[in-house]
Structure 1
Amino acid sequence: MKYNMIPAIAVVMMINACGKGSNDYDASGNFEADEVIVSAEQNGQIQSFTVKEGDKLAAGQTVGQIDVAIPTLQKEQVQASIKALQEKTQDPVPERELVRRQLLVQEAQLQQQYRERTRTENLVKSDAATQKQLDDINALIVQMERQLNVTRQQLQLNNSNISTQNRSILSEKAPLEKSLAQFAEQIRKGQIVNPISGVVLQRYALQGEMATSGKPLYKIANIDTLYLKAYVTGITLPQIKLGQQVQVRIDQGKKDYKAYPGEITWISGKSEFTPKTIQTKNERANLVYAIKVRVKNDGYLKIGMYGEMLINKDSK
């Protein structure tokens, strides 16, 4: 009797073992993050570069400097040229002011002669002055009017010359200002500025190396939030939707799991063949659909780690 029970016990143990090995999840995959490769924007030697793998960097943080001596010198040269042009545009005040004062004096003298002529005309009428005196005053007035016209023309010519000179200088200044902005942008690009907050995953360059525009310097990713890229079968696909709350779990020891709340953020619009490294709930299916589940990281989730998704039945 004892010998007949041994095969029965063995069968029960095999059934239990098979039951434990069955998949109780709806999809499985690996965690990933949005990774950003930061590249050099300028050519030159890397003068400083403090990035190390594992460093936590903030967005906008300056982490290095590429040599920008040449564009700096070019910028200073353009600034000197612009300054020289600005000095040329300054109004030659002493010369113009002298002509203006001379014009005012001549106008005052001419007005005085007009009054003197009127007085002399009255004297001539009363035989108190001679006609020659009146003629002399008229001749002097004509001469002064001519001198006044010459002074006015001289002042207008000075204004015209200055205006023409200013226009010429402004036409030369505009391209110089464009060049100045270009060199300033090259200098700005010499600074290595971190674009996003995250953790440095890999470093590709060292201080002292030569950098070229587009050369990768380091890779960074925000690991505060990770995405489980998993695969579901066509049978499971009708049970999920964007924004749906699901459960994500990872292994914790040999038998236990650690669970996280997750949200489905992406569902592939086309099917693909089952990846060899992925086991789906229905192992007989040949086609699966990729999805992404957003999970808040508590520090234990790692990029590339295996994870499983379970549909929360109560959330549907």
Structure 2
Amino acid sequence: LFLRGAPERHVPFGRLRSPRGSRLARGDRTRRAFVKPNPLIVAPIALVLIASVALVVTRRGGGRDALFSGTVEATEARLGFVVPGRIESVRFREGDRVKAGEVMAVLDTVEAAARMGEAAARVDAASAALDEVVRGSRPEEIQQARAARDAAEQRQTDAQQDFDRTQELFKSGAVGQQSLDKAKNALDLAKSGLKQADESLHLVEQGPRRERVAAQRAQLGTAQAAREAARAQLANTTLRAPFDGVVTVRHHEPGEIVAAGSAVFSLMNPDDRWVRIYVSESRVGAVRTGQKVGITCDTFKGRRYDGEVVYISSEAEFTPKNVQTQEERVKLVYAVKVRVADDPRFDLKPGMPADVRLEPQAQ
């Protein structure tokens, strides 16, 4: 195509011309058939290649959308009486909604009310006794003590005079030793009586001792404690809802005898539901507490519920048997708790299978 010493000329491939029917012409037509492919054949192949690459990236990359299966769970409390007794009334059935503080069941209160009345009577008696001790002696009691002291003093005066006369007679020989001893004993007895009367008057005028008041106050405190215990027993015959919830199980009926702690109701808290999923070691690094996720379920197709990651286990565990994730073969997984943040219709019920989609986090 090029002659030695002649200037070079670049001829476009499409401009080359060959004699009709030559091999070069036939080869040119063949080359043009490969250069211009059919789009109807290439387009499906390209789509298949793109889908395959996307699937590989989704499965192997960290931080991409990932779908995990789990089960809806909820906080459920087993409610019962703290005292034994016979059930008098039960006011709710399965499926009923209750408000916090509502009475759900009541025990027979005859015995509890009787114990409460007895305890209250003991408190009244102890309180009256304490008041009497604190007030001290009445005026009439003080007057009686003073009169008794005056009488004892008069007896001592008379005994002293009698002893003096007997002693003079003994000195003159008019009476013997026996008469003198008798007068001496009478004087000693009168002195002892006066001393006791003085002490009694002093106590009456002084008022009660601190020790006695303290002892009486202690008795009153014991009676009051017994009354509070009886009141608590009476209050415990009423079963109230601890939170807003839905009755899932009614375990007993009116007339049945229940032991303390035996469940009468199972109450579920609809505001505290979550989905527990298990994330493999390769993906748990992309999960964060507070991360927003999407929740779906087969029962309500087309609906998406907002969720939030509230707990990530700090320890790995072996894959539970009921896990149905895309990575079931991974042996070690981490439990993740996803709270249901938006479900006002209460569509997601405990025990219902659900899927959680972990969306990528902004870096």
Q: Above 0.5 in TM-score?
A: yes
- Report how far residue 295 of structure 1 moved: 0.9
Cα distance change of structure 1 residues 238 and 166 upon mapping to structure 2, 3 Å threshold:
closer
Using a 3 Å threshold, how does the CA distance of structure 1 residues 237 and 165 change in structure 2: closer, same or farther?
Answer: closer
Equivalent of 1:266, from 290, 311, 331? 311
Query: Structure 2: which amino acid aligns with 1:43?
Result: P
Which of these residues, 264, 267, 271, is aligned with residue 220 of structure 1?
Answer: 267
- Which residue does the alignment assign to 1:245? 292
TM-score (norm 2): 0.61
2:116 is aligned with 1:71: no
Q: 1:257 aligns with which of 293, 298, 302?
A: 302
SS of the residue aligned with 1:199?
A: strand
- The answer to whether the 8 Å contact 1:42/1:66 transfers is no
The question of whether the paired residues in 2 share the 8 Å contact of 1:252 and 1:258 is answered with no
2:227 to 154, 167, 180: 180
- Tell me the TM-score normalized by structure 1: 0.69
Residues 79 and 252 (structure 1), Cα distance of their counterparts in 2 relative to 1, 3 Å cut: closer
- Once the 2 structures are TM-superposed, how far is the Cα of residue 47 of structure 1 from its aligned partner? 0.9
Amino acid corresponding to residue 157 of structure 1 in structure 2: L
| Deviation per residue, 1:79-104 (Å, 9 max, x gap) | 2223233333334645268689x9xx
Letter in 2 for 1:38: L
2:279 match: 232
SS for the counterpart of 2:282 is: coil
Paired position in structure 2 for 1:201: 248
Aligned counterpart in structure 2 of residue 287 of structure 1, from 324, 332, 338: 332
Q: Distance in 1 between matches of 2:203 and 2:140?
A: 12
8 Å CA contact retained: 2:123, 2:227 = no
> Is contact 1:229–1:293 with CA below 8 Å preserved after alignment?
yes
Q: Specify the code of the residue in structure 1 equivalent to 2:356.
A: M
C-alpha deviation, 1:152, in angstroms: 9.3
Task: Give how far 1:246 is off.
Answer: 1.3
Specify the alignment match of 1:138 in structure 2: none
Deviations 1:164-189 (A, max 9, x none): 66444323222212211111111111
1:115-126 superposed matches below 5 A? none
Residues 85, 240 of structure 1: CA spacing in aligned structure 2 closer, same or farther, 3 A cutoff?
Answer: closer
| Superposed displacement of residue 216, structure 1 | 0.8
SS of 2:71's equivalent in the other structure is strand
**Separation of aligned partners in 1, 2:361 and 2:283:** 16
Matched, 1:36 2:77: yes
Q: Which moved more, 1:226-235 or 1:59-68?
A: 59-68
Paired amino acid for 2:81: A
* Letter of the structure 1 residue corresponding to residue 119 of structure 2: V
Return closer, same or farther for 1:96/1:34 CA change in 2, 3 Å cut-off.
same
One of 30, 50, 53 as aligned partner of 2:94: 53
Q: How big is each residue's C-alpha offset from its partner over 1:234-279, in whole Å with a ceiling of 9 and x where there is no partner?
A: 22111101111111111256xx432111110111222223233322
Residue identity in the other structure for 1:219: S
Cα distance between partner residues in 2 of 1:286 and 1:257: 32
Matched residue SS, 2:347 = coil
Distance in 2 between residues matched to 1:285 and 1:81, nearest whole Å? 70
**AA at the equivalent of 1:291:** V
- Decide which structure has the larger Cα Rg and report it: 2
Query: Residue type matched to 1:54 in 2?
Result: G
| SS of corresponding position for 2:298 | strand
